[in-house]
Each structure stands twice: as C-alpha cells, then as structure tokens.
Amino acid sequence: MRNIATVVLASIFSLAAATAAFAHSELQSSVPAANATVKDAPKTIEIDFSEELNPKLSKIEVQDSMGMTMDKGDSHVSDSDAKHMSVDLQSLSAGTYKVLWTSVAADDGHKLTGTYTFTVQP
C-alpha cells in the first residue's frame, strides 16, 4: 500500500512540474484595461505578463477601427521588469482601438498572441 501511495505522489509531482515547464507568458493586466472606456486618451499601452518576455520577439501594436497603426512602433520590454511591455501611442481621438500583442516567454520560447479593445470617449 505504501508503494502505491509513493507512486501516486510521484506522478502528481511529475505532472505539476511538466505543467510549469510548458507555461506560457499570459496577459495579466493592461492599462488601459481590456474593454475599458476611458475619458482621456492614453499616451502609452502597458501590459504585464505572467512570465518574463523575450524582448526581441514580443511586441504590442495598436490599430484604430479602420486598421490604421496608431502606435509609434517603439514596443519594448522594460529593462527593470521583464514581465512588463509598453508601446507609445500617436494622438488618439474618440473611438475604439484594438491592441494586438505577442508574448514570447524568455525561458522556453513559447509564443502567445492576443487582442483586446478599449474605447476613448468623445
């Protein structure tokens, strides 16, 4: 009976370790937040992820409702926090904007992409 319990516990720990090894750098929070409506147009988009990012392969892009690029093309991972990425924006008017992000985990190279929108009030 003791051997069975040992095998079960070892299996559980192995599965937990395998899950951690295959984790992805997922979006944790953003400013502006996903689906937010803001009064003042933001000057930057800031996103925090669950894992450290590969700065050469991770990026943020922002588009208006017509698909025009509204960021300044300077998406970057923070030097002081490798889980934080930002991009500067052109002057935004009232409307809905789409944020497109790509995160590539620094430790294992797993890539995720996602989008969300936010709205600037008139």
What's the structural domain count of the chain?
Answer: 1
Question: Rounded to 5 degrees, what are φ and ψ at 20?
Answer: -65, -35
Asked if residue 76 has pLDDT above 70, the reply is yes
Quick: pLDDT tens for 5-61: 444 444 444 444 444 455 689 999 999 999 999 999 999 999 999 999 999 999 999
Neighbours of 112 (CB within 10 A): 17
CATH assignment of the domain containing 53: 2.60.40.1220
Residue 46 forms part of a structural domain: yes
Domain membership of residue 71 as a residue range: 24-120
Distance CA 27, CA 50 (A): 6
**Token pair in block for residue 40:** 């003042």
Q: Which of 57, 104, 52 is nearest to 83 (CA)?
A: 52
* Res. 75 pLDDT band, cuts 50 70 90: very high
85 within some domain: yes
What phi and psi values does residue 84 have, to the nearest 5 degrees? -115, 130
